[in-house]
Amino acid sequence: MPENTVILKPLPSKLEINLLPLKKYDGPVEIVADDAHLSRIMPEIMAERVLGFDIEVRPTFKSGDHFPPALVQMAGRKKVFLVQLKKVKALHLLAESFADGRIFKAGVAVAGDIEKLSEVMKFVPAGFVDLGKMAAKAGIKAGGVRTLAAQLLGIRISKGAQCSNWERSELTPAQVLYAATDAWVCREIFLFLEKMKTHD
């Protein structure tokens, strides 16, 4: 057996996941809430090779309710950016990164996220990577972020703030932590799968 072969355990059950150590993102987070701030961070975004990527939408509790995306999360090497879409008008700046095939935007169920983002900005998507599909190619059946994090990284992430109001003017500390962790763990999963691929 090659020295670098990764031995994967069977898919963990919910109980097994709940026994894993809880891990949260503990690095710097920039909350972007105006055009000037977005302009300042775009060079950093465009210089990244891999971005952990996710969006948040205000949850719907009534049939017929529909909300546009409220938040874009992007995790780079050194920090996580949270862009509050309702406060930013220069969305074409963000769209440039979503159309740049040189930057991997790694997330789960990205096709749905792209569809939601197309409600508020125009871009031809390039460089998006669906972690569920990437994992499937490596013979891993897990599709969700929580299961992938448990299976590949041996950690548990909290989904506690998922159904909160993402259109709040000021995000709560719990929302910031949840959103940043989701994007960060997507980047970590991508890097893990990429490393597995190079060791095939």
- Is position 1 within any domain? no
pLDDT band, residue 9 (cuts 50/70/90): low
pLDDT band, residue 151 (cuts 50/70/90): confident
Per-residue pLDDT averaged across 51-61, rounded? 88
Q: What is the pLDDT of residues 17-54, one digit of tens each?
A: 666 878 999 999 999 999 999 999 999 999 999 999 99
- What is the distance of C-alpha 176 from the center of its chain? 13
Q: Report how many domains make up the chain.
A: 1
Residue 128's nearest CA partner among 94, 100, 92, 91 is: 100
Read off the DSSP letter of residue 156.
Answer: B
Strands (E), 16-158: 29-32, 50-57, 69-75, 80-84, 104-107, 128-130
pTM for this model (two decimals)? 0.88
| pLDDT beyond 80 at 186 | yes
- Is position 9 within any domain? no
| pLDDT beyond 90 at 97 | yes
- Is position 8 within any domain? no
How much is the mean pLDDT over the chain? 88
- Is position 3 within any domain? no
Per-residue pLDDT averaged across 159-177, rounded? 84
- Is position 18 within any domain? yes
- Is position 57 within any domain? yes
Strands (E), the chain: 29-32, 50-57, 69-75, 80-84, 104-107, 128-130
Range of the structural domain that residue 22 is part of: 14-195
Rg (CA), the chain: 17
- CATH classification of the domain holding 191: 3.30.420.10
- Is position 131 within any domain? yes
Residue 134's nearest CA partner among 158, 106, 159, 160 is: 106
Residue at 172: amino acid letter: T
- Is position 114 within any domain? yes
